[in-house]
Amino acid sequence: MPPANAKKRPEDLRSHRWYGVKDLRSFGHRSRTAQSGFDRSDYTGKPVIAIINTWSDINPCHSHFRVRVEEVKRGVWQAGGFPLEMPAITLAEPFQKPTTMMYRNLLAMETEELLRSYPADGAVLMGGCDKTTPALLMGATSMGLPFIFMPAGPMLSGNWRGNKLGSGTDSWKYWAELRAGKITEDDWQEIEGGIARSPGHCMTMGTASTMTSATEALGLTLPGAASIPAADANHARMATASGKRIVDMVWEDMKPADLLTAASFDNAITTVLALGGSTNALVHLIAMARRAGVPLGLDRFDQLSQRTPLLADIRPAGRFLMEDFYYAGGLRGLLNRIRPLLALDARTVNGKTIGENIDGCRVYNDEVIRPLNKPIVASGSLAVLRGNLAPDGAVIKPAAAEQHLLKHAGRAVVFEDYNDMAARIDDPKLEIDATSVIVLKNAGPVGAPGMPEWGQLPIPKKLLAQGVRDMVRISDARMSGTSYGACVLHVAPESWVGGPLAFVQTGDIVELDVALRKLHLQVSDAELATRRAAWKAPAPRFKRGYGALFSKHISQANDGCDFDFLEGTAPTEDPEIH
């Protein structure tokens, strides 16, 4: 039965159309539910909760979701709902080629259509591995039903001979050491066995931790959910609590539009900046905001960056890992530290404001979560660059770069695409030194396709051997949140569609000045116009299938890489009455 404060009666539920009416079709729905072993009393008059589960054998970050989903169901049953698990495509970051980003919008579409086409009154979204979080949220936001997000949680800290290992970050670090001959092949194999020790998503401040934390800051998880390690018993209890809560959210008719506002997106961006989060958050949050009808562009990130201190000392920018962060007080501890920067009256899924949810939340380790007066970086942990090389913007994470490179002019060494770079970067005859600027073209949303995380372009082997560990690198690709370096990313428009990056040649001088937010190619406008006139647009990579759909409809990085036909907030009309 609905609670006293319910805004809906059982016959107002969306699922009533499937189960509650007296006609031949609803007979079919009921008889087929009976076929699954459920009695009428199991679902009659109850909210039907779709649990969108991105579990798969191919996704180790979600391997515990097979168990967690049962814990979510337990909560739904306890609260008087009817749980229905609906598996959706997983996006397994380490495996999917060319990149999971190519499939983010596919999962978003699947989520929206699962919720639209089946008798769902509300949803629990189970994700966490990088793109699964924005994908699930984008689809569920477009559908507009009450939902709650249940994050996968970070895996335990990696370990090698007593040294902590962080996902991605330490892979890059020790791969460079191996290439420079500083560690052996046996060492490398030991690292392979110690870097991923439990279920859960990457435990550095990569895209996964960034996006689940941003989601909590948006008010779309129960308080505290994003920081709990996947292997912790508290994670199981959070799953059950999320299942319980969504049933009440349906009765209360708490929809995403009630929670997602310009202020809640500011909270999410501020959180990402205080965490030193992944640059991928720019693309995803822009796409998510636009699905919610909130106008958001790159400049808002730069504005908030200028007032937000970086407090979380987590790799790749810092020293610790997500398990340390949890023990130090987790996201709620950090949010309470930056509460002067937050819109505290933003509402969240538990019916309270974010201010109420973080009241009294403490930090237990000032090394991991710094006090406001001892930040790692006082402001500007992320910068949006513009100039004749990136008229629609580019992004850099200055905190993760060697500081002397943040004002730099150097000779471009250009690679036409990824394969060209892979073939020549380690050529001993390549004319390149530590002051050069490495440029990769055709790695953007259409060109790659899918804007893979190639943006941490490799340092040539001969320079590694000389001790060079960072250089200015420029591309229209993204970069893994677990990467680091003076990497200029998301150059827009991308080279494949004729952005100015397409016209850079080896030997040109490229100028980067982060303080001035400037990315400039020292080539005259007249010369650039000549090069543009000689440029030929590449032929489409895909002639059929999803790739053709993707290439035709994907937007540029500064617009969130959504499909043009999925943008907008028009409610999804159900095509039939019964």
- Residue 49 Cα to chain centre, angstroms: 25
Cis ω for the linkage preceding 340 (within 30 of 0): no
Of 93 and 559, the one with the shorter C-beta distance to ligand FES is: 93
Of 150 and 294, the one with the shorter C-beta distance to ligand FES is: 150
Q: Is residue 573 classed exposed, middle or buried when 0-12, 13-18 and 19+ CB atoms within 10 A define those classes?
A: exposed
**CB of 128 vs ligand FES, minimal distance in Å:** 7
Q: Does 130 bind ligand FES (CB under 6 A)?
A: yes
Of 94 and 297, the one with the shorter C-beta distance to ligand FES is: 94
**CB of 398 vs ligand FES, minimal distance in Å:** 23
**CB of 200 vs ligand FES, minimal distance in Å:** 8
Main-chain dihedrals φ then ψ at residue 377, nearest 5 degrees: -135, 130
**CB of 202 vs ligand FES, minimal distance in Å:** 3
Binding mask 527-546 for ligand FES (x = CB under 6 A): --------------------
Residue pair 174/191 in contact (Cβ under 8 Å)? The answer is yes
Residue pair 115/140 in contact (Cβ under 8 Å)? The answer is yes
Interface with ligand FES (CB under 6 A), residue total 10
d(CA 549, CA 279): 26
d(CA 358, CA 440): 43
Binding mask 27-66 for ligand FES (x = CB under 6 A): ----------------------------------x-----
Of 134 and 206, the one with the shorter C-beta distance to ligand FES is: 206
Q: Which of 54, 64, 93, 220 binds ligand FES (CB under 6 A)?
A: 93
Of 136 and 438, the one with the shorter C-beta distance to ligand FES is: 136
Of 93 and 302, the one with the shorter C-beta distance to ligand FES is: 93
Written as one letter, the residue type at 29 is H
**CB of 63 vs ligand FES, minimal distance in Å:** 11
Between residue 142 and residue 161, which ones bind ligand FES under the rule CB under 6 A? none
C-alpha radius of gyration, the chain, whole number: 24
Binding mask 167-186 for ligand FES (x = CB under 6 A): x-------------------
Between residue 185 and residue 244, which ones bind ligand FES under the rule CB under 6 A? 201-202, 206, 208
d(CA 491, CA 447): 12
Q: How does strand 518-521 pair with strand 437-440?
A: unpaired
Beta bridge partners, 384, equal: 395
Q: What are the residues whose beta carbons fall under 8 Å from the beta carbon of 215, sequence distance 6 or more?
A: 133, 137, 149, 151, 221, 226, 268
C-beta atoms surrounding 86 within 10 Å: 15
Q: Does 129 bind ligand FES (CB under 6 A)?
A: yes
Q: What are the residues whose beta carbons fall under 8 Å from the beta carbon of 329, sequence distance 6 or more?
A: 361, 362, 363, 364, 365, 369
Q: Does 453 bind ligand FES (CB under 6 A)?
A: no
Of 202 and 254, the one with the shorter C-beta distance to ligand FES is: 202
**CB of 173 vs ligand FES, minimal distance in Å:** 16
Give contact residues for ligand FES (rule: CB under 6 A). Answer: 61, 93-94, 129-130, 167, 201-202, 206, 208
